[in-house]
Amino acid sequence: MPSTRKSLKQVIADLEQRGSISSQDADSLRVAPQWSLTGAEISGYLGGGIVAVGITWIIFAFAQDLNRLIVTLMLYAAGSVALGTARWLRSRGVRSGQVAEVLFGIGVGSIAGAFGTTLNSFGVRDSVAVAVASALAVSIGLATLRRTSFAGMLLVVIAAQPLIGSIIEIFHLSEITFPLIIDLSGGLLIVLGIQRVPSALVARIAGSISIVIGSLIFAVTGESIVRPVISLVVSAALFYFGAHRINLEFIVGGGIGITIAIGVIAGRIFDSSSVQGAVITATGVAISALSLLVVRRNETRSTST
């Protein structure tokens, strides 16, 4: 299972061996933190989070005593104010960018929610209204993905969940089909997450979680042993893909899925809990031994070349 990507330490070591960087520079790169935020950036994220909580709190407080029309108008107004403020803050410079992106996400979410409520007021089914509002938020997130640091990606990831749920409800998908739809949505998020886009890690994590959840639901429903076997194949593919690319989020998600699928398979075949545990343990040992064998083989190939 040779990886197509080198780790940061390997890249630094290669550059040092070729003389592209000095040993002192290489040591500085090795000990440098992966993340670095200024005090202004940290304050910006904190302020944006507090603003989000405050606006949400105010909307829910007023919504309890007002009818749907007024709540809808308030959502449109709050969304417009949030978007206008976000645009104004962005024009002030980078230090206000974090708060601006939070407000941008709130503004889009408020207007999308208000639009869904408007559709519902005109007799559109709840599930269809949610699907349209979620699709609107996803579309705006995709459109602004490369122009924002995190807001566009969060809009896509967050709005994708009610979109998938509403699609399942609209088409009355069966217990066989809807887990596959969840897996498909996870796969699409993973495809998005392996692109060179801001906050791609968020999409990869969300995609991995979706695949694990979809595979788990698919494996445990029904009595057929075929379902957990299919879940095992899907999880193994995710695990292999993660190992191939050195993406920990795929490795962890695939590993969890493999463990669950093997547990379900063992439960369907054997009645004894001790035998089930032994099968799961033996499978884990076999996977570890195979991984060690592959690592040693790759090291041997690297040494020989």
pTM for this predicted structure: 0.79
Report the b/e string of 49-69 with b at 16+ CB within 10 A: eebbeebeeebeeeeeeeeee
Q: Per-residue pLDDT for 174 more than 80?
A: yes
Q: Per-residue pLDDT for 305 more than 90?
A: no
- Alpha-carbon distance of 47 to 25, in angstroms, equals 36
* Higher-scoring residue by pLDDT: 190, 121: 190
142: exposed, middle or buried (Cβ count in 10 Å: 0-12, 13-18, 19+): middle
- Alpha-carbon distance of 9 to 22, in angstroms, equals 14
* Higher-scoring residue by pLDDT: 25, 225: 225
Angle at 35 between CA 30 and CA 36, to 5 degrees: 105
* Higher-scoring residue by pLDDT: 184, 22: 184
What confidence tier does 155 reach under pLDDT thresholds 50, 70, 90? Answer: very high
pLDDT tens by residue, 69-91: 887 888 899 899 989 988 888 88
Confidence at residue 73, expressed as pLDDT on a 0 to 100 scale: 87
